[in-house]
Amino acid sequence: MIPSNYLEKVYSGYLGMNIGIRLGAPVEPTIWTYERIKNTYGDITDYVKQYKNFAADDDANGPFYFLRALYDDAANRELTPNDVARAWLNYTREGVGMFWWGGYGISTEHTAYINLKKGIQAPQAGSIEQNGEIIAEQIGGQIFIDTWGLVNPGNPQKAADYGEAAARVSHDGEGILGARFFCAAISKAFETSEINAIIEAGLAQIPEDSTYAQVARAVLAFHASQPDDFRACRDMLERDWGYDKYTGVCHIIPNAGICILAMIYGQGDFNRTVEIATMCGWDTDCNAGNVGTVLGVACGVEGIAHKYRKPINDSIVMSGISGYLNILDIPTYAKELAILGYRLANEPCPESLLSSFREHEVYFDFELPGSTHNIRVSDPFFCEIKHSTEKSVQGSGSLEVTFDRMTRGEQSKIYYKPFYTRDDFSDERYSPTLAPKAFSGQKVSMNIYLDQWNGNETMGFAPYVRLATSKKEILQGYVKLVNNEWLQVEFEIPDSEGELIDEVGIVLESYSLVKYKSLGRIFIDEFRIHGKSNYTIDFNKQLINFGCVTPFAHNHGAWSLVKDAMYLMTAEPCEAYTGNYFSRDYEVSLNINPQHGPSHMVAVRAQGAMRGYHVGFDGDNEVSLYINNFGYKKLASRQFAWKFQQGYDFKVTVQGDTITLIIDGEEILQHKDETFSYGMYGVSTISAARTYFRHMKLAEI
């Protein structure tokens, strides 16, 4: 039965996973050895590196994207390995992001991906028979599976079965036992915070005579004899279970030992557990992430130290094929996971939870304990944010912003960041690609309550957005707040004139004279970015970030900016996707100037690399509409005399089940198909090509 605090536990578990990953990532091997971590940082009690914004790696990408198999294929039945394999192929940009592309026969994930691309289905693609024992038993079997435990609360057996199904895409043997262990442990943590019971629940789902169980028992026995010295236990693991005995890049067995060590020596303390996992070396981000999920669920949000939670600020940036999905709000995702959990348990989901999750828009209700939804302030000297349960429009939570001794003309922005550029990150990480979550034409709404303690005038604010490349801020008119009253605010995002929007919020300003100084609080609740978008992409105003033209995610091909165009040169089929992943009815307009090759197309309702529609020039004097559903199939075609080195104005409309292509004002092709009802848009080719793309516009209908 689903526990009453299920949503909060999912939230704390997912927070815990990302805190562990962020803590361990800066000291990940091979450069950082156990000895080097110890000598450099000693007893780790905080993040060792401060990131501008933390972009996820494989430890976070896999649990997020591979779970989408529950929507795409296993929506009404039990999960199979091949369901998850299809998610691998659909949401991954080949060779970039998602996981480590270390080479066939070196990286387990790269090896499995190539096998899948060649038509070898899961579980064969990840089997020992196919890849050998060393490749099949690396650590990836347990690092991509946390969410399968989160959606199966209090059911260790089912959690382990789902984790195994997912792990078998790429792993086998001991590699899948880590998935079974951790999914069961996460599931059990919804029922108890007693760490020994959690570990035993995990071990109950794997064979007693397995090497995984043996290393776990060795750690537990050592702890029983020396319960106060985790470093002595680490020395034992090095001696008896080290990397010298389990070859490959990153074998699961030594790291399994570290995970058990961290949990048993952490003794149910979330913070100490992820710290120990990091200090012990080997695969630090993987291990700290896995134990972070277990202890996050077990301890709840109250068990996670503010110093670890604050820099996360409820946000993580992924690196899959959808730039829109890559910008992830953790409270929103916790709701999504909880809804899936109710579905898998065959229990009715509370209406309050269903209504609070809106995948197609930005919606922040601040209901989860401590949640901030990645809202930020531009000047922490004047303003500080925190979660509050003191005031709310509905429910019990809101965002509290304290303003401190502001005088006339002094300002601070309070904003959400719906888009990022390379300058927003400290390093390359796993090459995230981003599509904005706020567009011209949409509406922004929120409720603001003023509780002013000092000042001879009440505070005022102006709605604003900031443009990503020029950094120009577009302000609307100032509004004066009324003390001790809620004010409902709504404004339309103005035309960004081809730029992307990377800040949406308000500019808070004091009107008080210097001798009075404004001091007090505002509360923000029910923050939304919603409605139909209508915007252009001016390629004169875009950037090359992480190897992609903003705001696109490229899959194959060489893409560049040439004056006012996005230019493609490719020797193989390729795509570039952007836009709201959940957009349904819309119109894409652009100019296509084919230079070479038979295929120059517009992609619509694309749900990834393997799912979507593609329409456009298709060989001599022909235009065609294709559906890609793990393989291209021509749906319709028509004669059209097109030429190279000539620009054509395309307009592709998707509305209901109808796809319409208009070229230079003339309707060329129309076809009905109901396979895909939503998805991204972009450009593509199904063969070698060179093409210029200009003047792109998206208008939702």
Dihedral (Cα; 84, 86, 91, 94), 10-degree rounding: 120
Give the pLDDT score at 528.
Answer: 98
Give the pLDDT score at 673.
Answer: 98
Neighbours of 578 (CB within 10 A): 28
Q: Rounded to an integer, what distance in angstroms lies between the CA atom of residue 401 and that of residue 522?
A: 5
Q: Are 283 and 255 in contact (CB under 8 A)?
A: yes
Give the pLDDT score at 561.
Answer: 98
Q: Are 576 and 554 in contact (CB under 8 A)?
A: yes
Helix (H) or strand (E) holding 167: helix 156-167
Give the pLDDT score at 213.
Answer: 98
Q: Rounded to an integer, what distance in angstroms lies between the CA atom of residue 68 and that of residue 446?
A: 30
Q: Are 188 and 295 in contact (CB under 8 A)?
A: no
Give the pLDDT score at 682.
Answer: 98
Dihedral (Cα; 392, 396, 399, 405), 10-degree rounding: 60
Concatenating the DSSP letter of every residue in 544-604 gives EETTEETT-EEESSEEEEETTEEEEEESS-EEEEES-TT--SEEEEEEEEEEESSEEEEEE
Q: Are 222 and 177 in contact (CB under 8 A)?
A: no
Give every CB contact of residue 416 below 8 A, 6+ residues apart in sequence: 362, 364, 373, 374, 375, 376, 438, 503, 504, 505, 527, 529
Tokens found for residue 519? 């001091």
What is the model's pTM? 0.97
Give the pLDDT score at 382.
Answer: 96
What does DSSP say about strands 599-608 and 611-618: parallel, antiparallel, or unpaired? Answer: antiparallel
Average confidence (pLDDT) per 10 residues, the chain, 701 residues: 96 98 93 96 96 92 97 97 98 96 96 98 98 97 96 98 98 97 98 98 98 98 97 98 95 98 98 98 96 98 97 97 98 98 97 96 98 97 97 95 95 98 93 96 98 95 97 95 96 97 97 93 98 98 97 98 97 98 98 98 98 97 98 97 98 98 98 98 98 98 96
Give the pLDDT score at 1.
Answer: 84
Tokens found for residue 243? 């990397």
Q: Rounded to an integer, what distance in angstroms lies between the CA atom of residue 567 and that of residue 591?
A: 12
Tokens found for residue 58? 């494989």
